[in-house]
Structure 1
């Protein structure tokens, strides 16, 4: 993975927290990062070139009057006023290369002086075993603060630890082995014929990223929400708000954001296509 700085830009040492998505159902993590970039007025400082990510290109996702800046698969943004670095990922990882990609991201985080990594992702609502929405849609989390994945700050924020996390489960253990460089990733094919229901969570991208960041000695927190495919913009707001609560921010603190409101990314105007032609009805 190569990091290419924009001309005249540099990485700010004060931006010690990195927030990034892990691709999953409904693309909630990506939508939440979109919302954070737009609302914090973060500026693109560079892009990451990784052979494990499929190429894509598009128009500027945040400016209403694009000046010709292209959106690329992996971009780095910074908001010095919020002390945040944000990475947006717009295309999937090549099949079978998720751990290698996660290792490269972890190396970038260490090289750029990050102290805390926050991963935003989603889980399949259909696999939620004990549904409790009495206090709204809950945020689930996973942290490396303690061996069992628990974190006191997350608990105080009212979030639920992902109870399915078991560091002694075979696939979680294997991910740790891969992340630490003590196994060949090709060996995972031996496990594929023996995967069960308990292997769903460690098979997701966020799990590989969690293991690789942890192996580098970084503090890492995964914020997760259950959802289904469809219009997941409300879930994105929910996850972005959780990320802000974790790092001690509110829309009121976003520099240049008048009225303390979230800023809707320009690209969201067409995220689910144009409205129906009403002349049909």
Structure 2
């Protein structure tokens, strides 16, 4: 992955937190990043060129009228007032290359000095086992802070730990092994001939991102909500 910085621009040295989306149902992660870029008036400082991202191009993504400024598959933004960097992903990953892409993003985060990565994703509402109506905030998190995925800071914010994470489950373990470079990825997942329900979540993009950032020693937090066609269910 190559980071191409636009002429006269740079990433603020004080920025240590990176926010990025994981491709998911309803494009919720990407929409959230678009909202953050727009509301914080983040400045585009460059773009990322990666062989595992399908090419795409569009017109200015944020201006009220088209001005001819191209929107590219992977763009980097800097919100200096908030000391936050953002990466927007506008096209999908080549089939079977999600782990390779996640490794490249993790290498990029290390190279630019990120200490914490926030991955924004959504989950299929039909797979929600139990609906909790005790709280109006239906945000779930998964953190690399502790081995069980918990984080005291997230708990204080009122977020709920995502209960489906099991680091000892076979596919999560395989994903961690891939991320650490101790196995060769012959295909998307093992056990494709006999997949089980427990293999579903580790096959999603957020899981590869989580595992690869964690393997690089970067603190990573996934924020997720259950959705159907982009609508959050509460």
TM-score range, shorter chain: over 0.9
What is the count of residue pairs matched by the alignment?
A: 233
Output the CA distance in 2 between the equivalents of 1:26 and 1:176.
27
The aligned counterpart of 2:92 is 92
The aligned counterpart of 1:205 is 205
3-state SS of paired residue (1:131): coil
* Residues 1:170 and 2:170 are matched in the alignment: yes
Q: Identify unmatched segments of 5+ residues in structure 1.
A: 239-281
3-state SS of paired residue (1:87): strand
3-state SS of paired residue (2:186): helix
3-state SS of paired residue (1:186): coil
On the 8 A contact 2:137/2:159 being kept in 1, the answer is no
Output the CA distance in 1 between the equivalents of 2:31 and 2:196.
30
The aligned counterpart of 1:215 is 215
Change (3 A) 1:226 1:50: same
The aligned counterpart of 1:31 is 31
Output the CA distance in 1 between the equivalents of 2:227 and 2:160.
16
The aligned counterpart of 1:50 is 50
3-state SS of paired residue (2:173): helix
The aligned counterpart of 2:153 is 153
* Residues 1:80 and 2:80 are matched in the alignment: yes
3-state SS of paired residue (2:95): coil
Deviation at 1:138, TM superposition (A): 0.7
Output the CA distance in 1 between the equivalents of 2:190 and 2:148.
26
3-state SS of paired residue (1:81): coil
3-state SS of paired residue (1:192): coil
Give TM-score, length-normalised by structure 2.
0.96
- Correspondence list, 1:1-281, <5 A: 1-186=1-186, 190-230=190-230, 232=231, 235=232
Q: How well do the aligned residues superpose, as a CA RMSD in angstroms?
A: 1.4
Output the CA distance in 2 between the equivalents of 1:182 and 1:188.
16
Change (3 A) 1:62 1:139: same
3-state SS of paired residue (1:106): helix
Structure index of larger Rg: 1
3-state SS of paired residue (1:108): helix
The aligned counterpart of 1:275 is none
Output the CA distance in 2 between the equivalents of 1:182 and 1:160.
32
Q: Identify unmatched segments of 5+ residues in structure 2.
A: none
Deviation at 1:187, TM superposition (A): 5.7
3-state SS of paired residue (1:167): coil
3-state SS of paired residue (1:113): coil
Deviation at 1:67, TM superposition (A): 2.9
Give TM-score, length-normalised by structure 1.
0.80
Flag as ranges the 4+ runs of structure 1 deviating above 3 A.
187-190
Q: Which has the higher helix share?
A: 1
Output the CA distance in 2 between the equivalents of 1:207 and 1:16.
22
